Structure formats: C-alpha cells, structure tokens
A and B are shown apart, each in its own frame.
Chain A
Amino acid sequence: MIIRIMSEGQYEVDGETLDRIKILDEHLMAAIERDDEAGFNQAFHEVVGLVRTGSVLEHHQLTESDLILPASDTTLVEAKLLFSQHPIE
C-alpha cells in the first residue's frame, strides 16, 4: 500500500502497519468531530510516525498513492478547513 504524506513524499507500508494506521485514522476523524485538538495532534503524530516507518519511494518513481495524509504539521483548524472547502457527502 502506498501512502503519500503531503509536502513530503510517498511511502510503501506493509499490511500490519496499514491496519494500525486505519484504526488511528478513525480516531482522527472522531477527534475532528469532537473538536479535540490534543487528541487530533496525538493521533496525527502517531499516524505520521507509522507511515514514515515504511520504505521511501524514490524520486524517479511515478506511482499513484492509495491513501493521502495531509502535511505533517497540519493543525486541527486546517484539517477542518480542508473539509469545509471540499465537503464530501
């Protein structure tokens, strides 16, 4: 599975890591809905860390990502803004 961290690059992560990421990903969404900044920051930090344990894709590889994570310094406010500008039904 290939995951992009925006403004950073792409990583290939294994299935086990992906399962852990998916659980945290749900926590992230819940934190956004609760407006829980500390919870968001913690879960986001963990997700970024997990993705970075994957192997880095070289610059000359042109591959589409399966999942995309916002830039590593994204704040709760910015994440909310992202959704309000691009609402998904």
Chain B
Amino acid sequence: MGLMSRVSTIFKSKVNNVLDKAEDPRQTLEYSYQKQVEQLQNVRRGVAEVVTSKKRIELQLNRLEQSAEQYGQDARDAVKADRDDLAQQALNSKQAIVNQMDGLKTQVGDLAREEQRLVDLQHKLTAKVEAFRTQKEVIKAQYSAAQAQVKIGEAFSGLGEDMADVNMAVQRAQDRTQALQARAQAIDELSVTMALESPVASSGDAVRDELNRIKAQTGVSDELARLKLEMGKEDNPS
C-alpha cells in the first residue's frame, strides 16, 4: 500500500465521523447545514488563535531585540569606564540572545506563510459551505427522498473532506505555534535570569559545541575591539 492510499484511509476515517450524524439527509438537511456553519466558526476561531499566537511571539522577539540592544549599550558603557571584563560579559549575553533569535526569526517567517495559507483555506471553505447551502435548496426542491439521499451524500462527503482538511491544517499550525511560543518563552526567561553563561546552546556534540564556543568567543572579542576602536579606546601598545 502506498503513502497516498494510507493517508486517504486515515483521512476518510475522520470524515466519516462527521457523516454518521446525517442518517436521513432530507430531514436533517437544515441540521447538517447548521453543523457545518458551526464548524466553520470553529475554523475561524482556530485561525484567529494562530494569528494571535504569532503576534505574541513577534512581541517577544521585539523584547529580545531590545534586551540585546541594552546589552550592547551596557558594553559601550563598560568600555567607557575602562571595564573590559564587564564589556565582555555584556557582549556575551548579547551574542547569546542574537544567536537564539536568528533561528526563531526564520520560524516566525515560516509561520507567516502558514497563516496566509490558513486564511486562504478558510475563504475556500466559506465558499464551499455556501455552495452546500445552494445545493441543499436545489435538492429539497427537485429530488425525491431517495434521490436526495444520494445527492446529499455526495455533497456532504465532499464538504466533510474539506472540513477535515482545514481542521487538520489549523491543528498543525497550532502545534507549530505552540512549539515556537515555548521556545521564545525559554529564551526570554534565559535573558531575564542572566543564566547565559555560555552564549552557545548545546548541540549535543562536544566537538561542535567547542568549535561554536570558539566562534562565539571570537565574535565577542571582535565586537569588543570594534567598540573600543569606535570610542577611541584602542589598546595602546605600551
């Protein structure tokens, strides 16, 4: 069995749950339509939640950006006061935040695309529910109960599939947003508690960690040298 048939089976099991509720389509036509409108509202709420969460992560990123700037300012102040040790520490903290933020920014960018996709899907679904409403009126007016059963069954399966699709997309976006939120939160807490002893998060590989540390350290030393040059505080060869 290939991937697509498996996915179809998994997916159809989700759709069938929705379908079971409509046993006698002619009688339950209005009821099922109402149900779909309700589901559409749930989808809207889900999409709105993703949008809100993304905004919250963006705010968190802004705050991190500010604290990185603050550490930069601290480093300048320290250089001014001839306290290289403090400047080094401040730059370490700044580097740690900047490193963590880079990955997060990329993911927030991905999320923005996902958000756009959800909004598009929501519009499509709205159009489909509207199409179902029109079809339901036609079916009521033109078909006998037996024929209606078949016609409604078709329309219902099609729409049910779309519902399940959008619901899964919303779920996926929510999972991703939550993971990002947790990550932003963790960085935020780190920057607040100043637990940034090493500017580099562990990669799980000792050699790579060591190399990353060296790289970060070089970055910090370079920035310190640059700062000092900028402020006319070069190390005078004595």
Q: Which residues of A contact B (CB under 8 A)?
A: 3-4, 6-7, 9, 21-22, 25-26, 28-29, 32, 47, 59-71, 79, 82-83, 86, 88
Is A68 touching B4 in the complex (CB atoms < 8 A)? yes
Closest 3 CB pairs between A and B?
Answer: A62-B158, A25-B2, A60-B131
Is A64 touching B128 in the complex (CB atoms < 8 A)? no
Q: B188 — which chain A residues lie within 8 A by C-beta? A: none
Q: A82 — which chain B residues lie within 8 A by C-beta? A: 7, 10
Is B10 touching A29 in the complex (CB atoms < 8 A)? no
Bound Cα distance A26, B3 (Å): 7
Interface residues of B in 99-141 (CB under 8 A from A): 117, 121, 124, 127-128, 130-132, 134-135
Is B169 touching A61 in the complex (CB atoms < 8 A)? no
Q: B169 — which chain A residues lie within 8 A by C-beta? A: 6-7, 71
Please tell me if B194 contacts chain A, counting CB pairs below 8 Å.
no
The interface size of chain B toward A, counting residues with CB under 8 Å, comes to 35
**Taking CB as reference atom, which chain A residue is nearest B169?**
A7
Q: A9 — which chain B residues lie within 8 A by C-beta? A: 124
Task: Give the distance to chain A from B62, nearest Cβ to Cβ, in Å.
Answer: 27
Q: A83 — which chain B residues lie within 8 A by C-beta? A: 6, 10
- CB within 8 A of B158: which of A25, A29, A64? A64
Which of A4, A64, A66 has its CB near the most chain B CB atoms (within 10 A)?
A64
Q: Which residues of B contact A (CB under 8 A)?
A: 1-13, 117, 121, 124, 127-128, 130-132, 134-135, 154-159, 161-162, 165, 168-169, 172
Bound Cα distance A69, B7 (Å): 7
Task: Give the distance to chain A from B204, nearest Cβ to Cβ, in Å.
Answer: 17
Q: A66 — which chain B residues lie within 8 A by C-beta? A: 8
Q: B130 — which chain A residues lie within 8 A by C-beta? A: 60
Task: Give the distance to chain A from B94, nearest Cβ to Cβ, in Å.
Answer: 33
Is B127 touching A7 in the complex (CB atoms < 8 A)? no
Bound Cα distance A61, B158 (Å): 8
Is B121 touching A63 in the complex (CB atoms < 8 A)? no
Which of A9, A59, A66, A88 has its CB near the most chain B CB atoms (within 10 A)?
A59
